[in-house]
């Protein structure tokens, strides 16, 4: 979504590198480049003016002139201003003190309200809530059926007493003899809230009708539903690819319905992203969620600071950690830890479990883009073929249970059978087995405290160079004295166990002895991972 903007800003900041002092002309040139980048990204002009004014004032002040690295200080200022126009702080969903919490969705037709309703219901269900979807969009053809399908995919219940428009007519545009009655959406919304109270659902998500453009009939219907059910949250769903029209549409809905939060849909598209940078600043309402795909799991809580980091190609490690925590269960981690301690080899069964967990995290390209500096590897990401993971999984699943645990026993005939069963060539199977043997070798080296091949030593672990140096040292022979020899063997065993414990701590996150970390500056948001007691 922000590829073009990110590229322009990154190129702008590269011109500041290595400068020990920034002149006023340097600052003006930088601000001019930022202004052009924002305008090219379809950001609203009032937002651009406010943004560049804030950057210029801070860049010309003592904040930059007294900095040891003025270039990095300007990047920090731009990051702070981006966070500001994106809403400042993360806004969580406000749940009602007395359930059910009623959430009303509003927006234009095609903005993604119905799909988002299912995603939000799935997210809340995973958090331990019992959501109910209410089909109050009775105008759009087959909108009720679509919501029922979305609800089924999300694993939640859909309340749909009226089937709505199934004939392709529009109750608002038709008039006279052509008028069609598809039911009363206000009554459906009110009945849905009543059903939630009776049946014990603690969240109600009401999907309402939209239009291809803002009109009074649309606003009046949304106002009537809002006045009748008194929602705790009114979420305005807007297509992130809408461009300059985002601001006018958002202001129209703010005046007509007075929403409490914004949802950006289709954030995985290739548009310029101006809507995301304009709506929150112009309306004063926070962006609460981002829809990033077609599946029910493709939803994120919107964090302004993390989104600013993505735009500036600084990555989004916190979101990556959160997604990994959801995907990898504690049982698998405990089993891997047990195998590591018991000197058991990594098998293809373990490989399948880890691959399944990675798939749960979402689109792999999106995950890679959350890593800092990945914006400079666009060509490699563009050529990255996710189907390679499917081919590898097919090869592993074509193996017998014995072969998955004894890969060394896979001879020529077995490799031929695996290749035919997975639709690949024998050479691809050979390559997989070679890579797998390399992974096993790496795990053994880590178990012994030797670190990963080709990588610098980890804390408490000798590096690859240290191993080669040790080979040059002549080992002491075992003593002929039985008591002394037993003492030597005990010391060697204790040393090996200490090395294995150290490597285990680095591989599986086992805590090391407490150290004073009060002086270490951590990125905002990391504290919750350090303070966790589970």
CA–CA separation, 35 and 131 (whole Å): 44
243 is in an annotated binding site: no
CA–CA separation, 299 and 323 (whole Å): 11
267 is in an annotated binding site: yes
451 is in an annotated binding site: no
108 is in an annotated binding site: yes
Coil/strand/helix, residue 261: strand
315 is in an annotated binding site: no
26 is in an annotated binding site: no
360 is in an annotated binding site: no
CA–CA separation, 464 and 496 (whole Å): 17
Coil/strand/helix, residue 28: helix
275 neighbors 36 (Cβ within 8 angstroms): no
268 is in an annotated binding site: yes
E strands in 81-228: 101-106, 131-135, 157-159, 203-207
Listed residue (482, 441, 487) closest to 464, CA to CA? 441
Both tokens assigned to 520: 């270490």
Listed residue (298, 233, 247) closest to 275, CA to CA? 247
107 is in an annotated binding site: yes
Q: In what order do the strands lie in the sheet with 101-106?
A: 157-159, 131-135, 203-207, 101-106, 233-239, 261-265, 287-291, 299-301
38 is in an annotated binding site: no
Length of the chain: 534
113 is in an annotated binding site: yes
Residue stretches of the annotated binding site = 107-114, 207-211, 265-268
Residue stretches of the annotated binding site for GTP = 107-114, 207-211, 265-268
């Amino acid at each position: 979504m922000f590829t073009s903007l990110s590229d322009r800003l990154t190129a702008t900041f590269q011109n500041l590198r290595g400068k020990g002092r920034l002149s006023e002309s340097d600052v003006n040139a930088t601000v001019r480049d930022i202004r052009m980048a924002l305008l090219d990204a379809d950001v609203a002009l009032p937002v651009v003016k406010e943004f560049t004014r804030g950057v210029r004032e801070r860049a010309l002040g003592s904040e930059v002139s007294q900095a040891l690295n003025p270039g990095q200080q300007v990047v920090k200022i731009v990051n702070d201003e981006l966070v500001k126009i994106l809403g400042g702080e993360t806004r969580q969903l406000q749940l009602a003190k007395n359930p059910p919490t009623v959430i009303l969705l509003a927006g234009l037709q095609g903005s993604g309200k119905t799909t988002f309703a299912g995603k939000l219901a799935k997210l809340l269900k995973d958090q331990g809530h019992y959501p109910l979807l209410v089909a109050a969009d009775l105008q759009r053809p087959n909108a009720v059926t679509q919501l029922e399908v979305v609800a089924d995919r999300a694993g939640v219940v859909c309340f749909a007493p009226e089937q709505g428009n199934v004939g392709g007519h529009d109750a608002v545009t038709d008039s006279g003899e052509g008028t069609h009655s598809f039911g009363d959406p206000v009554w459906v919304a009110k009945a849905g809230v009543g059903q939630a109270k009776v049946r014990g659902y603690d969240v109600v998500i009401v999907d309402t009708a939209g239009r291809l453009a803002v009109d009074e009939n649309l606003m009046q219907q949304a106002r009537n539903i809002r006045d009748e059910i008194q929602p705790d949250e009114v979420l305005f769903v807007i297509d992130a690819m809408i461009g300059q029209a985002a601001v006018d549409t958002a202001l129209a809905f703010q005046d007509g319905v007075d929403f409490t939060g914004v949802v950006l849909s289709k954030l995985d598209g290739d548009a310029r992203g101006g809507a995301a940078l304009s709506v929150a600043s112009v309306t004063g309402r926070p962006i609460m969620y981002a829809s990033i795909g077609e599946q029910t799991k493709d939803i994120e809580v919107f964090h302004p600071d993390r989104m600013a980091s993505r735009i500036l190609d600084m990555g989004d490690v916190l979101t990556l950690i959160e997604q990994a925590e959801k995907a990898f269960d504690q049982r698998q981690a405990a089993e891997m830890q047990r195998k590591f301690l018991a000197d058991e080899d990594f098998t293809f069964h373990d490989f399948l479990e880890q691959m399944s967990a990675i798939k749960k995290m979402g689109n792999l390209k999106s995950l890679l883009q959350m890593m800092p500096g990945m914006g400079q590897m666009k060509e490699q990401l563009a050529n990255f073929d996710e189907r390679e993971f499917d081919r590898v999984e097919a090869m592993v699943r074509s193996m017998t249970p014995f072969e998955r645990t004894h890969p060394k026993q896979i001879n020529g005939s077995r490799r031929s059978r695996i290749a035919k069963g997975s639709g690949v060539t024998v050479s691809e199977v050979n390559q997989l087995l070679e890579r797998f043997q390399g992974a096993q070798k790496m795990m053994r080296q880590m178990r012994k405290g030797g670190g990963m091949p080709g990588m610098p030593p980890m804390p408490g672990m000798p590096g690859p160079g240290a191993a080669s140096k040790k080979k040059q040292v002549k080992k002491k022979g075992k003593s002929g004295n039985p008591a002394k020899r037993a003492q030597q063997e005990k010391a060697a065993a204790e040393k090996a166990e200490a090395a294995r414990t150290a490597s285990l701590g680095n591989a599986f996150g086992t805590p090391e002895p407490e150290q004073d970390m009060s002086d270490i500056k951590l990125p905002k948001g990391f504290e919750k991972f350090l303070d966790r007691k589970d």
